[in-house]
Amino acid sequence: RGAMAEERALAMVTCTAPVNIAVIKYWGKRDNDLILPINSSLSVTLHQDQLKTTTTAATSRDFTEDRLWLNGEEADVGHPRLQACLREGECPPPWAPPGAERGVPCTSPSLCPLAVRRLARKRRGDSAEDGTPLNLSYKIHIATENNFPTAAGLASSAAGYACLVSALARLYGVEGELSEVARRGSGSACRSMLGGFVQWQRGERVDGRDSLALQVAPETHWPELRVLVLVVSGEKKQVGSTAGMQTSVDTSPLLKHRAEVVVPERLALMMRHIRERDFEGFGQLTMKDSNQFHATCLDTFPPIFYLNDLSRHIIALVHRFNAHHGCTKVAYTFDAGPNAVIFTLADTVAEFVEVVRRSFPPATNGDQFVRGLPVGSASLPEELVTAVV
Ligand code: DP6
């Protein structure tokens, strides 16, 4: 075979995608299948130099089946959410004909923009069987890796699905709005499709076409903002977000009140704090919203506990630190796990990291205690040590 023929046999792309941390939390779906939320949410997308997912997707006429590797180990490619992102000839509910088995041809393709391969057909014209490298009927191999603990409440599924959708879109040459495809993988993934400050708007439509991620401000808007991740535990969480939020929707009156009354007010306020780069307002509201999310978890029946004693120690430490300074210098937020994400500004990083170092002395992992961007040294005033550490 000549060079041309080789080229046509395989197409491959590699993408990376960032983690995002919600400051107004998403918790609860109004449609489980389309992954439509009960409230809008707002997040900050993190830089990819420390935390990211890398995905390589390849398609070839020589592949005999779709295959998937997660962090080097082969995983089940039949996962319904993965299929929702991948699928082309099949209908995800609710478009499948009643009682249809998996694999039936789509009856309403125009209503079903949710699979990347189908989008490719629609936007590029049907190129199946035409022998191009991007032949849409070729099987696909996907390898994806996180450089941080998977499923420990560090938004790995968000970066993972955002990365998968980006890789597939590049592979098949699909452009334009893709957050609604990423959303079908994991709700919070739609926010990782954009950088900076991102809102996932709830949307009104039953088909979800208006439940999209939108950039509120680019990352350059607030360059002093910094994020510290305090890894409390790298273990897999006990109650996954999907199951947890379903139980909350079914049982928590507080969650209903939050979605209907609290979040709409907070969202408008948070947008203003971001626009004005008001860390006092941003930090306070971030902490309050995290606390209310965990309150809805306690209000869920049976209750869900994501925070542990160490998480609560960190919360208390942050409040002592802020009280000592007489203003909000650092803010915590926790997702579906015990790890703390701390927002602060560049001028506070060294001092706060030193406070964490003194409060939680690194016993066995000295060298690895602080990773990431270089942190300057800070000597703590005696009265700060007495009041805070
Ligand atoms: C607590 O996006 O992981 O991190 O849509 O079921 O995949 P699914 O849930 P997921 O939930 C994230 C919940 C959260 C808050 C947030 O990121 O907004």
- Closest atom of ligand 1 to 158 CA is 2
Q: What is residue 130's predicted lDDT score, i.e. its pLDDT?
A: 45
Q: What are phi and psi of 75, to 5 degrees?
A: -130, 170
Q: What is residue 122's predicted lDDT score, i.e. its pLDDT?
A: 66
Q: Assess whether the C-beta atom of 188 lies below 6 angstroms from ligand 1.
A: yes
This prediction's pTM: 0.88
- Decide: 200 and 180 in contact? Cβ < 8 Å: no
Choose one of 33, 188, 239, 286 to mutate for the ligand 1 pocket test, by most ligand atoms within 8 angstroms of C-beta: 188
Return residue ranges of the chain for CATH 3.30.230.10: 9-88+116-121+136-218
Closest CA to 207 of 174, 224, 183, 226: 183
Q: What is the largest CA-CA distance in the chain?
A: 76
Q: Assess whether the C-beta atom of 241 lies below 6 angstroms from ligand 1.
A: yes
Which of the four CATH numbers 3.30.1390.20, 1.10.3720.10, 3.30.910.20, 3.30.230.10 does domain 9-88+116-121+136-218 have? Answer: 3.30.230.10
- Closest atom of ligand 1 to 336 CA is 1
- Asked if CATH classification 3.30.70.890 holds for the domain at 222-363+376-388, the reply, yes or no, is yes
Closest C-alpha residue for ligand 1 atom 3: 241
Q: What is residue 327's predicted lDDT score, i.e. its pLDDT?
A: 98
- Give dist(CA 192, CA 53) in Å, integer: 11
Closest C-alpha residue for ligand 1 atom 5: 187
- Compute, in angstroms, the gap from residue 291 CA to the centroid of ligand 1: 16
Closest C-alpha residue for ligand 1 atom 14: 335
| pLDDT per residue rounded down to tens, the chain (389 residues) | 344 444 457 889 999 999 999 999 999 999 998 899 999 999 999 999 888 999 999 988 899 988 999 889 998 888 777 776 776 544 444 334 344 444 444 443 333 334 566 667 666 554 433 444 466 678 889 999 988 765 455 667 899 999 998 998 888 777 778 898 889 889 999 999 999 999 999 999 998 889 999 999 999 999 999 999 998 887 777 899 999 999 999 999 999 999 999 999 999 999 999 999 999 999 999 999 999 999 999 999 999 999 999 999 999 999 999 999 999 999 999 999 999 999 999 999 999 999 999 998 877 665 667 888 889 889 999 999 999 99
Q: What is residue 124's predicted lDDT score, i.e. its pLDDT?
A: 57
Closest CA to 321 of 288, 354, 289, 294: 354
Return residue ranges of the chain for CATH 3.30.70.890: 222-363+376-388
- Give dist(CA 377, CA 12) in Å, integer: 44
The amino acid at 45:
T
What is the SS3 assignment for the chain? CCHHHHHHHEEEEEEEEECEEEEECCCCEEECCCCEECCCEEEEECCCCCCEEEEEEEEECCCCCCEEEECCEEECCCCHHHHHHHCCCECCCCCCCCCCCCCCECCCHHHCCCCHHHHHHHHHCCCCCCCCCCCCCCEEEEEEEECCCCCCCCCHHHHHHHHHHHHHHHHHCCCCCCHHHHHHHCHHHHHHHCCCEEEECCCCCCCCCCCCEEEEECHHHCCCEEEEEECCCCCCCCCCHHHHHHHHHHHCHHHHHHHHHHHHHHHHHHHHHHHCCCHHHHHHHHHHHHHHHHHHHHHCCCCCCCCCHHHHHHHHHHHHHHHHHCCCCEEEECCCCCCEEEEEEHHHHHHHHHHHHHHCCCCCCHHHCCCCCCCCCCCCCHHHHHHHC
Q: Assess whether the C-beta atom of 41 lies below 6 angstroms from ligand 1.
A: yes
Sign of CA dihedral 249, 251, 257, 263: negative
- Closest atom of ligand 1 to 21 CA is 17
